[in-house]
Amino acid sequence: MTDASGATRVESGGAQAADLEAQPAPKSGGRRWWGLVVIGLAQLIILLDGTVVNIALPSAQAELGMSDASRQWAITSYALAFGGLLLLGGRLSDLVGRKRMFLLGTAGFGIASAVAGAASGPGVLFAGRALQGVFAALLAPSALALLNVTFTDPRERSKAFGIFGAVAGAGAAVGLIVGGLLTEYMNWRWCLYLSVPVAVIVLVAGAALLRDVGSRASRRLDILGVLLVTGGLVALVYGFGEAGTRGWSDTVVLAILAVGVVLLVLFVVWQSRCAHPLLPLRIVRHRQRAGAYLTGGLGPIAMFALFLFMTYYLQVVLEFSAVEAGLAFLPLTVSMLVSSTQIAARLLPHVAPRTIVVPGVLLTVCGMLLLTRMSVDSSYVTGVLPAMILAGVGMGGTMMTAMATATAGVAPEDTGVASAMVNTTQQMGGAIGTAVLNTVAATATSGYLHDHLTGSATSAQRARVAAEGTVHGFSVALWWVVGLLLLTAVLAAALLKRNTPCGQQESA
C-alpha cells in the first residue's frame, strides 16, 4: 500500500510472529561468538567470489568461448548488482528482519553460485554472477547489522569487529590464493561451486544461532528512493568500468556518469523530503560516522590497487604461477588479521578512532612508497614482502575501526541501512579507484613505451622495455594512491575525534 509520501507500506500477515523473532540477545557468550563465526563465513564467501573469479576467468573464457570484449561481464555483472542494490538490501533488513534477510541472502547466494558454476555458455555464467550480486546485496548489510546489534559491550564489540574486519580485509587475498589452487589443480568451476557447501553450513548454523535483536523500522519502503539510488549507483559502477576500456573522454562513458550523478543528487533531495526515506540523512550527517564512511570508501582504493597491480607484477614480471602469486599475498592476510584483532580491537574502546586510523593509513603509505621503487629486477622478499606487511598492518586496523565507527550508536531500526552504507562506500571506492588507477597505469606505460622503444630493438630488448613500461605504469599509479591515502589521513584526523559511542544509541 502506498502513502502520500511515495513510500510503500510493507505488510505481512506474519508480522506478529516476525516481531517475536526480535528476542533479547542470548545470555550465552559462547553462542554469540559462534554466531560471529557464522556471520564471518557469510562475509567471506561474498568477498571470495569478488576476487576468485579473476583467477578463474582465463580458463572459463577458453572453455565457454567468451570473446575478449564480453569476458568483463563475468566481473561487471556481479559488481553492478551488488553495488546497485546494497542500500535496498540494507533497508529491507530493517523492515522485515535482519536474520530473515541474512538467511534469504545466504540461500540465494548458494543457488546462484551453483548456477554460475554449472554454466554451459557465457550468458548463463553472466546471469549467475548477476544473481550472486543480488543476493550478496541482501546478505552483506544484514550480516554487519546482526553483528552490530549482537555485540553491544564495548570490549566485546571491538573484539568482534576486529575479527570481522580481518575477514573483510583478508577475503580478497584469500580469494586469490583459493582461486589459484582450484584453477591449477581442479577446475575453474570449483571457484564458484566452493560457495555452495559453505552457504549450506551458514544457512543451517545461522538459523540455529543468530538472533535478531532490537526494534525495526517503520514498515514502509521508499520506492522512488530505491529507483533513484539503484539507478545512480549502477550507472556509476558501469560508467567507471567502461572508462577503463573506452577511455575517459568517450561520449557514452561521460553520459552514463552524468546520469549516475544526476540520479544520486535527486536521491539526496528526495531523502530530505520523504516521510519514510530509504537512507535517513541523519545517518550520514553525523560527523563521526561521515568520517568513517569516507575512510571506508577511500581506504579500499589502496587495497584494490595492491591486489590489481601486484597480481600482474608477480605473474607477468616475476613469472610466478597462479598458485605462487596467490600464496605471495598470504603475509598481507596474516598482517591484516593481527592488526585488526590484536591492535585495533584492543585500542578502540579506549582511544578516539583517529588514533588508530591515522597511523594505520600512514603505515600503508610507507608500504606504497616502497612499491613505487620496485623494478623488473626486484625480488619478492626485498621488493614486495615488506610493503605487503606494512600495508596489511595499516589497512587491517584502519578498515576495522572504520566499520565499527560507522555502525556505532545507530538506532536499532537503522542498523541495516547504516551497515549497507559501509558496503556501498567500499564498493564505490573500489570500483572508482580501480578504473581510475588502471587508466593512469595504462597511460603511463604507453608513454614509457613510446619514449623507449626503437625500431632497431631486438625481440629481447622489446620484451625488457615492455616489462619496464609495465612496472613504470604501476609505480605512477601507486604515487596517486599515496596522495589519496594522505588525503584520507587528513580527513580522519579532522573528523574521527571522539571515542566510538558503543553504548549510546541514537533515536530515530
On the question of pLDDT at 370 being above 90, the answer is: yes
Weakest-pLDDT range from 213-217, 248-252, 268-272, 328-332: 213-217
Owner of C-alpha cell 546471469: 127
Torsion sign, CA atoms 96, 100, 102, 104: negative
Is residue 76 within 8 Å of 127, Cβ to Cβ?
Answer: no
Q: Select from 110, 491, 329, 507 the least CA-distant residue to 102.
A: 110
| Average pLDDT value for residue range 439-462 | 82
Owner of C-alpha cell 625500431: 455
pLDDT digits (tens, 9 = 90+) for 43-77: 888 877 766 777 777 778 888 888 766 777 787 78
Q: Whole-model pTM?
A: 0.78
- pLDDT score of 4: 45
On the question of pLDDT at 283 being above 60, the answer is: yes
Look up residue 135 and give its amino acid: F
Q: How many CB atoms lie within 10 A of CB 74?
A: 23
The CA distance from 94 to 421, in Å, is 13
- pLDDT score of 502: 43
- pLDDT score of 438: 81
Owner of C-alpha cell 554449472: 118
The CA distance from 239 to 246, in Å, is 10
- Beta bridge partners, 220, equal 9
The CA distance from 221 to 279, in Å, is 11
SS3 97: coil
Whole-angstrom CA distances from 336 to 47, 330, 428 are: 15, 10, 22
List CB contacts of 312: < 8 A, sequence separation 6 or more.
470, 474
More confident residue, 113 or 172: 113
Is residue 223 within 8 Å of 111, Cβ to Cβ?
Answer: no
List CB contacts of 332: < 8 A, sequence separation 6 or more.
170, 173, 306, 388, 389, 391, 392
DSSP state of 317: I
- pLDDT score of 59: 79
Which cell numbers hold the place of 367? 608500504
Q: Quote the distance between the C-alpha of residue 294 and its chain's center.
A: 14
On the question of pLDDT at 258 being above 60, the answer is: yes
DSSP state of 8: E
Whole-angstrom CA distances from 112 to 37, 90, 223, 377 are: 23, 20, 26, 43
Is residue 275 within 8 Å of 388, Cβ to Cβ?
Answer: no
Instruction: State percent of the chain over pLDDT 90.
Output: 24
On the question of pLDDT at 83 being above 50, the answer is: yes
Mean of the per-residue pLDDT values of the chain = 82
On the question of pLDDT at 130 being above 70, the answer is: yes
Is residue 276 within 8 Å of 222, Cβ to Cβ?
Answer: yes
The CB-side HSE value for 100 (13 A sphere, CA atoms) comes to 16
Q: Select from 184, 36, 93 the least CA-distant residue to 419.
A: 93
- pLDDT score of 114: 94
pLDDT digits (tens, 9 = 90+) for 90-110: 888 888 888 999 999 999 999
User: What stretches of 372-458 show up as alpha helix (H) in DSSP?
Assistant: 385-407, 415-452
| Average pLDDT value for residue range 409-420 | 79
Instruction: Decide: residue 377, CB within 10 A, 0-12 exposed, 13-18 middle, 19+ buried.
Output: exposed
| Average pLDDT value for residue range 313-333 | 83
Assign 205 a pLDDT band (cuts: 50, 70, 90): very high
Instruction: State the DSSP H helix or E strand holding residue 222, giving kind and residue range, or none if neither.
Output: strand 220-222
More confident residue, 333 or 372: 372
- pLDDT score of 170: 66
DSSP state of 340: I
On the question of pLDDT at 15 being above 50, the answer is: no
Query: What share of residues in the chain are helix, strand, coil (percent, to 5)?
Result: 80, 0, 20
DSSP state of 413: G
| Average pLDDT value for residue range 397-409 | 85
pLDDT digits (tens, 9 = 90+) for 185-202: 788 888 889 889 999 999
The b-or-e profile of 99-134 (16+ CB within 10 A means b, else e) is bbbbbbbbbbbbbbbbbbbebeebeebbbbbbbbbb
Length of the chain: 508
Q: Can you say whether residue 6 is alpha, beta or left, with left for phi > 0 and alpha for psi between -120 and 50 degrees?
A: left
More confident residue, 463 or 183: 463
The CA distance from 276 to 130, in Å, is 29
More confident residue, 74 or 25: 74
| Average pLDDT value for residue range 259-285 | 89
Assign 14 a pLDDT band (cuts: 50, 70, 90): very low
The most confident of the ranges 110-119, 272-281, 333-342 is: 110-119
The CA distance from 27 to 35, in Å, is 13
| Average pLDDT value for residue range 72-88 | 83
| Average pLDDT value for residue range 132-136 | 93
More confident residue, 170 or 3: 170
Which cell numbers hold the place of 333? 592476510
Assign 281 a pLDDT band (cuts: 50, 70, 90): confident
